[in-house]
Amino acid sequence: MHQPTLLPTRAQYAPDEEISLEIDSAVGDVLSGTLSVWRLGRRIHEQPITADALQHLPGLPEGGYGVEARIGEAVHRTAVEVTADARSRLRYGFVASYRPDKDVDAVARLARRLHLNGVQFYDWAYRHADLLGGGEHYDDALGQPIELETVTRLIRALKGAGSVAHGYAAVYAVGPAEWDRWADLALLRPSGEPYALGDFLFLVDPAAPRWAEHFGRELVEASRQLGFDGFHLDQYGYPKFAAEPGGHPVDVAESFVTLLAGLRAALPDTSLIFNNVNDFPTWRTASTEQDAVYIEPWKPNSDLGSLAQIVSRARLASAGQPVVIAAYQHVYDSAAAHEADRATSFTMATLFSHGATQLLAGESGHVLVDPYYVRNHRAEESTLDLLARWYDFVVEHDALLMPPSIAEVTRSYVGDYNDDLELSYPGTGAAVSETAVAGTVWRRVTTTPEGLVVHAINLVGQEDTLWDAPRRSPEDVGDGELRFRPIRGRMPRVSVADPDRQARLVEVPVRLDGDHAVASLPAPHIWQVIHVAL
């Protein structure tokens, strides 16, 4: 695995915590150069690089920052997040193997490189209804060998890297060996057979008091024995309604809400993340006392516009929690890495520009291509470099992307009637659209605590907007113009950034033209962020 030159010691930092960065020896044993810190395109600190392995930065206020190490002609970048509320953002990763010889430091290193402040421990448990019943060494329900000591080593390593370990647990699943004990709480099909996941797991009413108490005790004990600071609470997206053996109807969405309330009472300080499979039932669970709104999309949510709509609904329904989309990029198993990387770039551009993150990367350098996380894909170095650039970008530009107060105002600003702001490409005449339309530049306008932000996602050259399909290189649409109404007596500033071509914001020329200001923009690649400070 390619190791980056500049690496923070933690995925995120508290305001009173020392910020340290590791400089890789790959650039030489004797280093000379400068280390600089940037916030939204402005350099706020600079210091010489020392001979020490770790470079220490002075304390920084809350926020996201880019960090640059300039060594000779080379510039190496990373980002750091400083926050008093570690759960206000979630950049989620995964781990799915627990063999005795596992290199836990490599897992923690990836978490540091990609700023993964939460990691899902997939299928670590002995059985779905008996999490800790296997002792120290066991095979899980699908035959994967588990070393419990490896689980605890991973938890400690990730905690040391500033990441919260979330133990996976399905909220209503019981295996065949335990079924007799729970069959009286079954969720039944119209035929009278229990709902199941194949013949592997059977489903019970998650709100049934006896089950809910048992499940809560299992999580409490896993937290106490192993040190989990969070739990990932899974479901399968069905049924929506069912009957229990006594004939009473069960509204499963309401059962989930009841269960989540009970778990929060049992685990008041533990991070809880519930899986809304295909957006079910986000409208009920998003406002509950959990720590993220997590959604796993499937058909018919197959295109970029569907992802955008899912995120927008989740942000509106939530109580300000971060939004995470588990968009598995199966394309890596069927296409060349560069084609799959472009698909991932368009997925990330859609999610990041709408204020959400993606669960994709984990282990020591793998990506998810399957809902059974054990079947993951070893990423190419090019893919890991791409993810590092984009994850650095989203941390550095957090203030423009992630605050819950950000609102989309596209249709209030653009168009002839509004005449407040418009994006165009005069040289090529490339079409601009308010929605994700193949062959256009998808343009969105948001208001943020830092001013207006325009997102340009370049779909020119694409035949469709599927997010899990090989993507062509975007076509060059040429330089752009941003025309907008400034405030009288003030000269606006416009800055542009791009995770692939211009990592930090750089100001562009602006001229006045009557009642409008016109900014000259470089051509977008896949995703360009335009910051307008009026």
The reply to whether domains 6-82 and 407-533 share a CATH topology is yes
Does the domain made of 407-533 have the CATH classification 2.60.40.1180?
A: yes
Which CATH number is associated with domain 92-396? 3.20.20.80
Residue 517's SS3 state is: strand
Backbone angles phi, psi at 511, to 5 degrees: -125, 155
- 361-362 vs 407-408, strand pairing mode: unpaired
- 510-513 vs 516-521, strand pairing mode: antiparallel
Per-residue model confidence (pLDDT) at position 72: 85
pLDDT in tens, 173-231: 999 999 999 999 999 999 999 999 988 999 999 999 999 999 999 999 999 999 999 99
Rounded Cα gap, residues 434 and 441, in angstroms: 9
- Please check whether residue 455 is in contact with residue 410, taking contact to mean a CB–CB distance below 8 angstroms: no
pLDDT in tens, 302-347: 999 999 999 999 999 999 999 999 999 999 999 999 999 999 999 9
Per-residue model confidence (pLDDT) at position 46: 96
What's the CATH superfamily of 6-82?
Immunoglobulins (2.60.40.10)
Instruction: Please report which helix (H) or strand (E) contains residue 34, including its range.
Output: strand 34-39
Rounded Cα gap, residues 238 and 520, in angstroms: 51
Comparing CA positions, the residue from 16, 9, 18, 17 lying closest to residue 157 is 9
pLDDT grade for 453, boundaries at 50, 70 and 90: very high
Rounded Cα gap, residues 346 and 372, in angstroms: 23
- What sign has the CA pseudo-torsion 35, 84, 288, 96? positive
Structure token digits, residue 483: 């025309």
Is the predicted pLDDT of residue 30 greater than 70, yes or no?
Answer: no
- Please check whether residue 446 is in contact with residue 406, taking contact to mean a CB–CB distance below 8 angstroms: yes
Is the predicted pLDDT of residue 28 greater than 70, yes or no?
Answer: no
Domain boundaries, the chain: 6-82, 92-396, 407-533
Is the predicted pLDDT of residue 31 greater than 80, yes or no?
Answer: no
Per-residue model confidence (pLDDT) at position 16: 81
pLDDT in tens, 368-416: 999 999 999 999 999 999 999 999 999 999 999 999 999 999 999 999 9
Is the predicted pLDDT of residue 27 greater than 80, yes or no?
Answer: no
Q: What's the rounded mean pLDDT across residues 45-60? A: 91
Burial class (CB in 10 A: 0-12, 13-18, 19+), 425: buried
pLDDT grade for 25, boundaries at 50, 70 and 90: low
Structure token digits, residue 239: 């049924």
pLDDT in tens, 66-110: 999 998 888 999 999 999 999 999 999 999 999 999 999 999 999
